[in-house]
Chain A
């Protein structure tokens, strides 16, 4: 079982992102689970969401304490919340940032593999959200697919088409662009 924890802020779409990743994996024949920690439902508040992907039935129903993958939609959370707490050794961290991976340090994590993608700029290019608050959940899934190899980009696109009823194609194209831009 692979466990993925999303960290974002209200309005960025972390909860929907965790769900779309689960649907993408489902299309590849996996058992999946996705759920939010529902805290204060307002824009800007820290949001956590979880995805589990497995070849077997998923029976566990608690939060994810030792993730294999961290997806960070807002890098300003890195100082605010102990994000990398519990990340497995050699775990992967995907950050929405224009900075280089080497500019981030996670002293709590053992040998983390850090990837960055400028999802905010890509999302803006495709008109997703506003300049002040771009909606980057679908975009960052392209980066997640590339960095982790957990799901094919085709499955992510299929899941976006299933789960995003409005501005569907710009969301799909943004994911593809993030997938293509990310160097692994």
Chain B
């Protein structure tokens, strides 16, 4: 069944289709409608779940952690300041190996107070051990929520996942979304049944004091699980394609095979870049786009392979690692350490500034005519 939905509705319907048992979330612009629609769906009895109202995002994630530890499938959603407030528990959820799924609407951090798109909020959670991915459109939001439960709950992974969508450019944008049919979704995603859980009939304690004798191995295992996730994301993406007709991977190459110039990006900017690539190809510029879906685990081998044909590579970041460069740029540079490809690091769209096809053509123009640079601020004005 197809419907015209915003990204927020697609996220809420994804959690509903996954038949989550417990939802706990605190509203924050521009995530609010995710919480609103889920509370209605639960209140109307369309989803047999507990909706737990809380007084903060920190409590929302704490609630999901407790519920997930008992073997419940959980969902939460937040944005920006709310994600930052969860930070302590974001580490906790991953180290406790609880496959919680959280949708984050990428919004700029304050001050200046902003409700608009910027990936700095999620990038700040890079080293927590969560799987972290970025969506280009609303169909991908719905599909990724569904796939994420299967990926995260895989025995060889057992890590939480953060699914990111751009504020307004997805959260409040209506697009056509195929919600499939329930029987096929149930065929794809079976009930969550973890091997280890809190059980009053079989008491265990979790999260005890961990001496230097053991903590190190916990961290080793978390990294191993992230690396395992690369294989699992691919397998689940293939299986999803067989059932629903849309196949997913950690990256998506668009017209890269013969490309002399390749632009790397994520989120909605990747979609706009595809459109710009078609326009530039019509005027003889041989350019392609590599969309990065997963930031963690980082798809190192796929990126090396996809970028191999390029004479030059440009990375578009909607975030800054202050004092260094764009966060995705840093990843691409370290991935291509053994190659001599000139790299261009573009910063664009911070705090919801629009990134148009014209801006992307401007970046390609810089790649064609200027020497490589790690940090190029697109459209910055009045800073002198």
Contact = CB atoms under 8 A, between A and B. Distances in A.
Contact of B176 (A32, A36, A65): A32
A38 B29 CA distance: 11
B365 interface: no
Interface stretch (A54-62, A73-81, A120-128, A167-175): A54-62
B243 interface: no
A152 B331 CA distance: 50
B4 A22 contact: yes
A175 to B, nearest CB: 18
Contacts of B174: 19, 22-23, 32-35
B375 to A, nearest CB: 23
B4 A65 contact: no
Contact of B354 (A23, A33, A34, A63): A63
Interface string A19-36: 100110010000111111
B268 A61 contact: yes
A26 B357 CA distance: 25
B88 interface: no
A26 B4 contact: yes
Contacts of B175: 32-33, 58
B355 interface: yes
A59 B275 contact: yes
Given A59-B137, A65-B356, A36 B168 contact: yes
A31 B358 CA distance: 23
A35 to B, nearest CB: 4
Contacts of A19: 4, 174
B135 to A, nearest CB: 11
Nearest to B174: A34
B253 interface: no
B171 to A, nearest CB: 9
Contacts of A60: 271-272, 275, 357
A88 B347 CA distance: 30
B53 interface: no
Interface in A2-41: 19, 22-23, 26, 31-36, 38
Interface of B: 2, 4, 30, 115-116, 136-137, 166, 168-170, 172-176, 268-269, 271-272, 274-275, 354-358
Given A62-B354, A65-B358, 12 more contacts: A19-B174, A32-B174, A32-B176, A33-B174, A34-B4, A35-B169, A38-B168, A59-B136, A59-B137, A59-B275, A60-B357, A62-B355
Interface of A: 19, 22-23, 26, 31-36, 38, 58-63, 65
